[in-house]
Amino acid sequence: MTNPLSEAGRSSRATAPCVLVIFGATGDLTSRKLAPALYNLGRDGLLPPNFICVGFARRKKTNEDFRQELKGDVSSFSRSKPVDELFWSHFQEQLFYHCSEFDNDEGYRALATLLAQIDSKYGTRGNRVFYLSVQPKFFPMIIEKLRKFGMIYDAHKTKDKWSRVIIEKPFGHDSASAEELQTQIAQYLHETQTYRIDHYLGKETVQNLLVFRFANSIFESLWNSNHVDHIQITVSEDIGIGSRGHFFEEEGLLRDIVQNHMMQLLSLVAMEPPVSLSAGAIRDEKVKVLQSVRPIAEGDFVRGQYAPGFIDGQGVCGYREEKDVAPNSTVETYVALRLFVDNWRWAGVPFYLRSGKRLPKRATEIAIVFKDAPGVLFQQNGKKHDRNVLAIRIQPDEGISMKINCKVPGPSSPIQPVKMDFRYGSYFGAAPPEAYERLIWDCMTGDSTLFARSDEVFHSWKILTPLLEAWAAKGAQDLPQYASGSWGPEEANTLIAKDNRSWRKL
């Protein structure tokens, strides 16, 4: 597996022997994403020859229990099925379980001993990846204890082995808390050891954005305010919050999706070409986009909350009826906004972003909508033709399509928009690896290109924290409900309609 978005990826990178310790090993993310990712990396021969995974969690269980559970997770959630029994019989020998509370010194002391034993028995050479798949409030404590018990090394002094920490999102709750969290962890962890994960960056289609923009000469000259009318970014999900009531009540949609996934998409689509493919060069350009975003004006953002409705013909409850959600909750499950990137390339081009739960379908898309062609030749009865649209489908049905106007065959010559369509699935004929596979592998090889740097996170919070503050001040006021299965509140349509534009039909 090579990463086209890194210099290192162009020569083949090798993973060094290491131990991966997953904090929160009995949680949902481990079951659905991490266990299948490790299994598939192993099957594809991408794990290092000397590799061990240790699950760290509070529930008591044996290594054997842990192995059985992970096998169940793999058989339910892996992209490749059924479980390859022969491979699994070897792979499971590399899985261990360690039970401890996150605040218990004894648990960390015992972990350090276990890891030392693993090093001498399995040749993992002291190299460590710690994956923090826990509630954000535990991040500083775990990192401090790992350092205290010698498992996070001094990045400057230790050269013969390495330690890296993958931190799940959200990184902070707003501008102030993100900076405070960074200050806390920076006492123990150097930036080069910090891997802030945003799994969207591990998606093949997201990585392809830069290849598409900068490996094709035809787009770059059009990619600016001279030719682009506006850009729409949509992250729509038909699912509700499921069993994540506690999490969602804390976070809401802006923190869950917009602050990270959508801001990453925005940065990648709007950035200047980087000077090289190094992690630093790419992240520098992404940060400049965020720095150029004009403060979002009052009236340029709306929120909503899903009410009961129908998804695929099935009745579903409203957000306030979900488990672990307050009956008078004011947490948003939908956000739409308009923002401007005030730089030479994008001055005056609106970026419309929308995301929500319980919308009619799952679809993530970036649409570049080009300006109208002058109507002098082909306008029919004063009616404008459709604008050219380059639609980059991040998921599902990953691909890229271009809407162009075309002459319908025959003498009357009406003009009709048609689509040129590229689909990953049918062209490459294979399911792309899951985002988590790529990102875990990148971390093991020491490539942080596809992880968020601290300044990216801070700038993103800086743009969005005023929205959170405005909503907190309003409480339940201006919190429209939208029927589950609809495209969100009417206020979102008004937001874009005031510019004489409309949301794309997906």
Summarize as ranges the residues that interact with ligand BG6 (CB under 6 A): 199, 237, 256
Q: How far is the CB of 333 from ligand BG6 (least distance, A)?
A: 10
Which one from 173, 199, 230, 261 is the annotated catalytic residue?
261
- Minimum gap (Å) between residue 79 Cβ and ligand BG6: 12
* Shortest separation between residue 357's beta carbon and ligand BG6, angstroms: 7
Q: In what order do the strands lie in the sheet with 363-370?
A: 415-423, 399-407, 389-395, 363-370, 228-236, 350-356, 334-340, 301-307, 481-483
Rg of the chain (C-alpha set): 24
Instruction: Between 256 and 442, name the residue whose CB sits nearer to ligand BG6.
Output: 256
Of 163 and 460, the one with the shorter C-beta distance to ligand BG6 is: 460
* Closer of 19 and 435 to ligand BG6 (Cβ): 435
CB of 169 to ligand BG6, least distance (A): 6
Q: Is 261 a catalytic residue?
A: yes
Specify the DSSP class assigned to residue 11: S
SS3 216: coil
Chain-centre distance for alpha carbon 423: 21
β-strand pairing of 309-311 with 334-340:
unpaired
Nearer to ligand BG6, 174 or 256 (CB): 256
- Backbone torsions φ then ψ of 479, nearest 5 degrees: -120, 85
Q: Which residue is nearest to ligand BG6 (CB)?
A: 256
| Cβ(273)–Cβ(440) below 8 Å | no
N- to C-terminal Cα distance for the chain? 32
The CB-of-282 to ligand BG6 minimum distance in angstroms stands at: 21
| Angle at CA of residue 491, ends 489 and 497, nearest 5° | 120
Give CA–CA dist 200/207, Å, rounded. 9
Question: 177 or 278, CB closer to ligand BG6?
Answer: 177
- Name the DSSP class of 500: T
Which residues make Cβ contacts (< 8 Å) with residue 406, sequence separation at least 6?
Answer: 415, 416, 417, 418
Active-site residue list: 261
